[in-house]
């Protein structure tokens, strides 16, 4: 489906992203009859908001919006105020879109969203056990339990549209975002190249540069053939930021065993598809990958910042 009704699942799959959100203050929470707490704000123009009264039993105008699509930005935080998900960052500024339907489950995300009108912002605080049972239909993850008894959702509603309007709007937003990403990646590649050259110089590395922008240092030549697109390769690896901080390794993440993937078909970051193809079977090497061929503007979780060039020390164990 083009539009999602359950964006909690997307949020929890995304990991922790350190981003600020708006409208966290603004007076005392009110309580809905179904149990969650809320604050709702209406826009007064020029980026300013005033509190908007919403009855505990809900917004009587919501029935006029059912069947339409709401475009919104959303952020989730744990009871300790750690960010679980921020759609502005995760979706490159493209709003999330959800179909508005009759609220069948009271006390969940659907009821909270039903309180909001176009242009509104809202802060919603849920009991973590209740929200997982009602909206996610699963036990609370241990890390959420440790973070406290609540989960807070911050929402900014952009607009409410017909399905046709929303589809056209989303397609345009995706094209615009793709163009911006490509322009940013081109500019960032030049910046990363300066950073990587400086890193190579400071660490006295004898590196070669691939036409893609990857630098590589073969530390132990292999005797076998180089892999071809579509072949399955097995690789031992250790990934670090340029400051030496490790974010992943096959030793820790795969029980010491090499990971296997089909080369050149997008199963890994582009820098791996291009870098591993440069090596012969049995080779050990260091790959220095510009951010545009790694995780780009989005970064990855809490460990890999946006626009971060990466170092991977790899061994091409096998080719099948």
Active site residues: 237, 247-248, 269, 295, 312
Dihedral sign computed on CA atoms, order 197, 269, 92, 81 = negative
How does DSSP assign 247-280, residue by residue?
EEEHHHHSTTPPEEEETTTTSS-HHHHHHHTTS-
CB 232 within 8 A of CB 262: yes
Distance of CA 262 to the CA centre of its chain: 24
CB 230 within 8 A of CB 261: no
| Coil, helix or strand at residue 124 | strand
Cα–Cα distance measured from residue 305 to residue 116, given in angstroms and rounded to the nearest whole number: 33
Cα–Cα distance measured from residue 210 to residue 290, given in angstroms and rounded to the nearest whole number: 11
Q: Cα dihedral angle (190, 18, 95, 132), rounded to 10 degrees?
A: 140
Backbone angles phi, psi at 150, to 5 degrees: -125, 160
């Amino acid at each position: 489906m083009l539009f999602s009704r359950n964006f909690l699942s997307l949020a929890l799959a995304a990991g922790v992203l350190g981003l600020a959100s708006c409208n966290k203050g603004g007076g005392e929470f009110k309580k809905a009859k179904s149990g969650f707490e809320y604050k709702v704000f209406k826009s007064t123009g020029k980026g300013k908001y005033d509190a908007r009264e919403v009855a505990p039993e809900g917004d009587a105008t919501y029935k006029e919006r059912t069947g339409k699509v709401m475009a919104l930005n959303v952020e989730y935080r744990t009871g300790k105020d750690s960010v679980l998900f921020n759609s502005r960052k995760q979706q490159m500024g493209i709003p999330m879109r959800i179909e508005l339907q009759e609220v069948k489950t009271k006390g969940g995300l659907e009821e909270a969203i039903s309180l909001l009108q176009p242009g509104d912002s809202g802060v919603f605080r849920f009991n973590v056990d209740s929200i997982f049972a009602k909206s996610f239909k699963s036990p609370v993850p241990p890390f959420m339990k440790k973070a406290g008894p609540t989960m807070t959702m911050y929402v900014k509603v952009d607009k409410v549209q017909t399905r046709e309007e929303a589809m056209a709007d989303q397609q345009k937003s995706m094209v615009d975002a793709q163009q911006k990403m490509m322009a940013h990646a081109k500019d960032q590649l030049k910046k990363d190249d300066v950073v990587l050259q400086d890193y190579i110089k400071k660490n006295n590395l004898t590196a070669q540069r691939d036409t893609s922008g990857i630098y590589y240092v073969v530390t132990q030549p292999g005797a076998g053939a180089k892999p071809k697109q579509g072949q399955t390769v097995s690789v031992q690896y250790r990934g670090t930021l340029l400051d030496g901080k490790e974010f992943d390794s096959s030793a820790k993440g795969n029980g010491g065993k090499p990971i296997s993937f089909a080369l050149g078909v997008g199963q890994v970051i582009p820098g791996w598809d291009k870098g591993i193809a440069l090596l012969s079977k049995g080779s050990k090497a260091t790959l220095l990958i510009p951010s545009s061929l790694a995780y780009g503007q989005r970064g990855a979780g809490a460990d890999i910042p946006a626009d971060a060039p990466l170092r991977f020390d790899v061994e091409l164990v096998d080719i099948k």
